[in-house]
Structure 1
């Protein structure tokens, strides 16, 4: 994972898989789209235009995700970061929106941003007297941003449309957990449709397009399942305090560590308070490579929380043990 920069304190990262999809998009544009719309050009120019269009595509994806993140901050929802990966991008929200209205606003702003980018590119394409290459790139960005916006409105969690559906169900029922369960099931249904369409395309000879649809479907299926499982975990851990699940500091040293020292050694992201919710420890553990977070009370180190502590708490509360750190990350 490579951190590029920060926006309002939000880290923007690129996953290693992003370089694969960037190369594939560039290759697809250089070998297919641009030779069709710009005939009799050099191979180098096709690759240059393909790389430029791919950069602008992922800039559009970044703006889509940034709009989610900024809307979340405006609704007092902490944001862990924005990551560009092989399937596009994701904004990591470290808490659920406080109300159905907040969920709706955070979800809908992404597709609206994609549609706005498409509209801007369309206006530039129609109003400016640029080169043929300029209009080819602008036309591509119009189409691709419309596709991104429409696809994200499909009502399957965790797509934006699924989050909009969850907000509506949450408002109607008053229960976030129930709304998440229904929206996640819709997400699984959407994923299965994509997998079936991908398999059909493979059978009809479109190997690359078909395999890609299958992979996207599998990704959404896993994301929908994980979203529901994390919601179940969250519902249980929010009822517990860190002091209820922590392993107390060993007495063999017969000493306490000052908070300043703990902060220097561990960093704020590796420290929780005894009265914090166990869910807070869950989130911080997911971002900690050491496999534990320190519990600090006042000026004293009083214990630690490990993955085993969280697994034991979930087993006791009916969720069952799972690889918590992996799901939190």
Structure 2
């Protein structure tokens, strides 16, 4: 994904590229908002919290990568980003037991980290704080006590969120792997959808009520991923988005070519130098069997851009003895119009 290209490499581990996404910079204002640092101690606490969060996200993804290495799956890269992370596998294992092991490793890593943070918190509370006689030392120990408590809470949140049974979260992948092992892939897709969609709706409602726009954006990404389990759902989701953001493409996908052509004509009036509008209107005309009007739009594009590859290909196919209302180039380009 292009989004994950906005990152820089921190190094390699056993041929795995470790990358840090630019979105992690946002952890700094988040930490400032949470801790409101006003002195050295509070600044140290806030910065250590940012470092701990980054480390825990990395170790979560490292758990996935390490498990993948164990079952013989090549790992291309690990990307640490604000809403979790991404372990880029060379391929998805065929065995559901391997998938289960890989996706369960991340939450298990956070469970272990939460336990270690709680252990550090208890040790500070029961051992070091009672022994501290110096006031300054006592205050610093309290700072680290609060830090370990908040870091333990971070790991609990990471475990809880990742185990929500919504694909492609770890919980959704664990559910899918379990159901595939028991009932086969087709039934696993259906069960994962049946469980995941209600959970996703609840997440969206929570995001709206709490006005958590970051969560809502994440829910949109989840919706696209979960729809990949069902082509009909993916098509309907694409239709819904095109209705709001590309209305002309929506009418095209619905088969209302005349209305789509009229909307593209309006876009041509506002942007007469944009060849894309002419090409998409040409697609509408061709779908309605109006080859002359379609060819006219193609010729307009070639007049503006003589080396426009698609226009050249379409014009060539107009003059070849191809039967049917849609040429091969048309089918490739206009299956999803712009």
TM-score, length basis structure 1: 0.60
Match of 2:272 in 1: none
1:196 match: 205
Equivalent position of 1:242 in the other structure: none
Q: How many angstroms apart in 1 are the aligned matches of 2:83 and 2:76?
A: 19
* Correspondence 1:222 to 2:224: yes
CA RMSD of aligned residues (A): 2.7
- Cα distance, 1:30 vs. partner? 2.2
Could you list the per-position Cα deviations for residues 249-281 of structure 1 after superposition, in whole angstroms to 9, with x for gaps in the alignment? xxxxxxxxxxxxxxxxxxxxxxxxxxxxxxxxx
Deviation at residue 161 of structure 1 after TM alignment = 0.8
Evaluate the alpha carbon distance shift between residue 226 and residue 94 of structure 1 in structure 2; reply closer, same or farther with a 3 A threshold.
farther
Matched, 1:81 2:77: yes
Once the two structures are TM-superposed, the CA of residue 138 in structure 1 deviates from its matched residue by: 0.5
Give the corresponding residue for 2:320: none
C-alpha displacement at 1:192, in angstroms? 2.6
Q: Any residues of structure 2 matched to 1:20-99 within 5 Å, and which?
A: 20=26, 22-31=27-36, 42-99=38-95
Q: Give the Cα separation in 1 of the matches to 2:56 and 2:111.
A: 10
Structure 2: state its 5+ residue gaps.
Answer: 1-6, 130-140, 235-327
2:157 match? 147
Residue 156 of structure 1 aligns to a residue whose secondary structure is coil
What CA distance in whole angstroms lies between the structure 2 residues aligned with 1:321 and 1:9? 39
Q: Which has the higher strand share?
A: 1
1:78–1:93 CA contact under 8 A, matched in 2: yes
Cα deviation per residue 1:61-119 (whole Å; 9 max; x = unaligned)? 11011000110111112212110123121111221123111111111111111010000
Is the alpha carbon distance of 1:322 and 1:13 closer, same or farther for their aligned partners in structure 2, counting shifts above 3 Å? farther
More helix by share: 2
Cα deviation for residue 321 of structure 1 reads 6.1
Mark the CA change 1:59 to 1:190 in structure 2 (over 3 Å): closer, same or farther: same
Q: How far, CA to CA, are the matches of 1:81 and 1:185 in structure 2?
A: 31
> In the alignment, what sits opposite 2:9?
3
- 1:107 aligns to 2:107 (yes or no): no
Matched, 1:134 2:152: no
Whole-angstrom distance in 1 between the partners of 2:91 and 2:8: 23
Q: What are the Cα deviations for residues 155-196 of structure 1, in whole angstroms up to 9, with x where unaligned?
A: 111111111111111112232x55245425644443332121
What SS class does the counterpart of residue 98 from structure 1 fall into? coil
TM-score (norm 2): 0.59
Aligned pairs, number: 219
> What is the CA–CA distance in structure 1 between the aligned matches of 2:42 and 2:59, rounded to whole Å?
26
Partners of 1:24 and 1:228 in 2: how far apart? 39
The equivalent residue for 1:212 is: 214
1:151-166 equivalence runs, <5 A: 151-166=161-176
C-alpha separation in 2, matches of 1:227 and 1:11: 29
